[in-house]
Structure formats: C-alpha cells, structure tokens
Amino acid sequence: MGPDKTTILSEVLDRIPVAAAVAVDFVRPWLQHYGVWVLAAGLFGETFLFTGFVIPGFALLFTSGYLIADGAFSPLPTLLAAWGGAICGDQGGYWLGYLLGNRLLAKRQRLVERLRGMLEREGPWLLLLYHYVPEFRTIFPAVIGSSRFNLRRWMLFDTVGVFIWVVAILTLGYTAHGVLLAGGLVSRLFSIFTFLVILFITWRIYLAISRREPVTAAS
C-alpha cells in the first residue's frame, strides 16, 4: 500500500517555508550588491525606454520597500537610487519628446492629447501627481517635452513629485512587511494602519488623476 496522499501533501507544505528561506538567503548577497542599481535602472528605463508598460515602477519600489524592512536593502542608498534613477529617466523622456515629438508618440496619440488637455487645465500641479498612474507616468515626460513645457518648472515640480512618490511607495512596501511578519501585536497593528492609510491616499490620487478629462474647446 502506497503512502497516504494527505501525508505527502502535508510534508510538501511543511517544506515550502524552508525552501523559501533558502531561496531568499541565496539571492540576498546579489540583492545587497546589485539590487539598488537594478532599481535605479528600472526606474530610469520606465520613462526613458518606456519599459514601464512592462514593469511598472510601482512594483519595483514596493518590492524595494519590502526588502528594506527585510534587511536586504539599506534605506538611504535605496531612496537615493530610486529618486535619482526616476529623475534621470524623466529628464531623458522629456528630451526625447522635445527632440522627436509626435514621431515618438504617434502610436498613443489619444492618450497624448488627453494628457496635454489635462496639463492645460491643471497646470504644473499635475506634475506632482501623475506618477501614481502607471500609464501616465511612463509617457508623460515625453508629452511634456513635445509640448515645449518650461524646462525649469518641469524639473522643479517633477523632482519634488518624484521624491514624494518614491517615499510613499517605498513606505507602502516597508509596512507590508510589517503587516505580514511583525512580531508584536502593537507593531503589527501600527503596520496595518500605516499601510492602509498610504494605500488609501495613493488610491485616491490614482482615481482623481486617472479619471480627469481634458479640456474641450469652447463651442
């Protein structure tokens, strides 16, 4: 008579945490040495190479925040790498749009016109908030450049907006670690509260920006 299926399943389930721990320990040295560079490159490519349509910066930042809490990443280098990579990508996207204009954006013309209309109505304050909508974030710097938006104002508002966005999503990932793995009841409750507050604010900003409609010409 063969082994009981329930026993086999129980043994497999018991080994999953061990296997997960081994996997984390295996990649931890690589993450500690190269992880922040991968993060910076990913956020740079999101708006300069339009890789955000495949790997959103939100996912990279959230994971990095989780890894900070887990001890795999150091907080300050991660923050600086994310901030610097995102800013450089945004500035690169701006100049791509400035130099190539509609030739670069021809395949997403409807979205481009929508973003230009939103910018016309909302003004530079939109530059502080567009990062929370993945589709907008990937293409908006190029739209700004193709619209010949004032470079100094763009750099000022985008730099501040990127910093706020990076800190918010890193913190979201950090508190997610506490929600799952915090030891004490108070620590876990605090992590849950902080996670939900940041998630709610981020979601409200996402809805407020993504549902905006462009201005229409007066009849």
Confidence of residue 13 (pLDDT cuts 50, 70, 90): very low
Give per-residue pLDDT as tens, 99-156: 987 777 777 778 788 888 888 877 778 888 888 888 788 888 988 988 888 899 999 9
CB–CB of 46/138 below 8 Å? Answer: yes
Least-confidence region, from 19-28, 44-53, 110-119: 19-28
Give per-residue pLDDT as tens, 58-94: 888 988 898 888 888 889 999 999 999 999 999 999 9
Confidence (pLDDT) at 194: 80
Give per-residue pLDDT as tens, 194-207: 878 878 877 777 77
Give per-residue pLDDT as tens, 85-107: 999 999 999 999 899 877 777 77
- pTM comes to 0.76
Confidence (pLDDT) at 113: 83
Kindly write down the DSSP assignment for every residue of the chain, as one continuous string. Answer: -PPPHHHHHHHHHHHHHHHHHHHHHHHHHHHHHHHHHHHHHHHHHHHHS-GGGTS-HHHHHHHHHHHHHHTSS-HHHHHHHHHHHHHHHHHHHHHHHHHHTHHHHGGGHHHHHHHHHHHHHHGGGGGGTGGGSHHHHHHHHHHHHHTT--HHHHHHHHHHHHHHHHHHHHHHHHHHHHHHH-SSHHHHHHHHHHHHHHHHHHHHHHHHHHT--------
Percent of the chain with pLDDT over 90: 20
- Tell me the domain boundaries of the chain: 24-210
12, two tokens = 């497999």
Confidence (pLDDT) at 219: 35
Confidence (pLDDT) at 109: 79
Confidence (pLDDT) at 127: 86
Confidence (pLDDT) at 24: 54
